[in-house]
Structure 1
Amino acid sequence: MMVELELVQAWESAYRQYTAMSATVNRFPSVDQRLAWEMAAASAAVASAWRALECDGFHPWWLTAAVRSAAEAFEGQAQDWEERARW
């Protein structure tokens, strides 16, 4: 059971961007529309990377469930940030 290196690198890149955006957002007492959209995009990128990992070959059921759960969490977070950006 090997995950393709490209998928791992894509996840790492998306998560680095997400971590950087999260740190930026946490520095401000309120978040403007631009930052909210950027946070939504960063969350969506991580969700997409999780989805790609989910579809990569055969995994034990418990690993597939964990990856799917992570993807769903980041998708929900992206939706929350998109709603916040529309205010």
Structure 2
Amino acid sequence: MTTKQRAYLKSLAMTMDPILQIGKSSITPELTTAIAEALEARELIKINVLQNCADDPKELAQILGERTRSQVVQVIGKKIVLYKEGKDDKKKIVLP
């Protein structure tokens, strides 16, 4: 992913609300499945890491990126933005 593409995705993510939250149980198989399904449907998602989660958001983002085969766009504070390119017939986001 190029710098321009990453900047474009960041600009799209700024207006989004988090659709999933990571709590004190951290990453569960159910959460991983929910994130993978959300990425299939939306391509770009924002995740909120709650205060009661003891894990580092950057480490969580890397783990989720590997498990869902997605790319970490950014981690700001307790917010994680992930992107996974959709299949050709279902593409919603066209990268510059």
Normalising by structure 1, we get a TM-score of: 0.31
Higher helix proportion (structure 1 or 2): 1
Structure number with the bigger relative contact order (C-alpha 8 A, sep ≥ 6) is 1
Higher strand proportion (structure 1 or 2): 2
Determine which structure has more spread, i.e. the larger CA radius of gyration: 1
Normalising by structure 2, we get a TM-score of: 0.29
